[in-house]
Amino acid sequence: MTKIKADPDGPEAQAEACCGERTYHELLVNLNPIAQPLASRRLTRKLYKCIKKAVKQKQIRRGVKEVQKFINKGEKGIMVLAGDTLPIEVYCHLPVMCEDRNLPYVYIPSKTDLGAAAGSKRPTCVIMVKPHEEYQEAYDECLEEAAPAALSLLHQCCFLLSVCEDTSENVVWGK
């Protein structure tokens, strides 16, 4: 019995090559309903680079339990959540905790890519990046773009609540 070598240009090789890395738009298909504010493609790349630098300095918190513990202790940083995590009950309380403590948070499309950026082979649904002088410039760039996204979402929710309260006075219930 002899081994048959696979053709490097064969259909299996082409299928494997195209499925190796997915584009940003392909990843958006798997988002859950609460993944707002979603980072742009550019911000996502910046966050991955910042996370890689933070891992070298050991300035990240990884996983729901660890991140939640350090938020409660008052630690500051940018929270990066994976938008394709299901069930959402795993981490749906974290954005509320961030808003209560004025911490910026942003969703990215893939937990697999988030785990890979943190140097892990396992997917990760949430990471908190703490500031450090070694990568302060990259951190500040991410903070500039992530903070307004979270605040604008909060303002939109407040606006919708005020509109609902205003219109509820004019509605006759039960008819």
6 in a structural domain = no
- C-beta separation of 44 from 81 below 8 A: no
Determine contact, residues 110/44, Cβ cutoff 8 Å. no
Name the pLDDT band for 9 (thresholds 50, 70, 90). low
Report yes or no on 137 lying in a domain: yes
Residue 3: pLDDT over 90: no
Does the pLDDT value for residue 171 go beyond 60?
Answer: no
Instruction: Answer yes or no: is 171 within a domain.
Output: no
pLDDT band with cut points at 50, 70 and 90 for residue 163: low
Q: What is the pLDDT of residue 159?
A: 52
Is 174 part of a structural domain of the chain? no
What average pLDDT does this structure show over 91-120? 91
Q: From the CB of residue 52, how many other CB atoms can be counted at a distance below 10 Å?
A: 16
Q: What integer pLDDT is reported at residue 61 of this predicted model?
A: 93
Structure token digits, residue 83 = 């938008």
pLDDT at position 124 is 92
Between these two residues, 113 and 153, which has the higher pLDDT value?
113
pLDDT for the residue numbered 16 = 39
What is the domain range of residue 150?
31-163
DSSP string, 4-16: PPPPTTSHHHHHH
Per residue in 56-86, pLDDT (tens digit) is 999 999 999 999 999 999 999 999 999 988 8
Q: Is residue 56 part of a domain?
A: yes
Mean pLDDT within 139-145: 87
Provide the whole-model pTM. 0.73
Distance CA 82, CA 98 (A): 15
User: Is 84 contained in some domain?
Assistant: yes
Residue 146 near residue 39 (C-beta atoms within 8 A): yes
CATH number, residue 110? 3.30.1330.30
Query: Number of folded domains in the chain?
Result: 1
Report if residue 13 sits inside a domain.
no
Residue 175 counted as domain residue? no
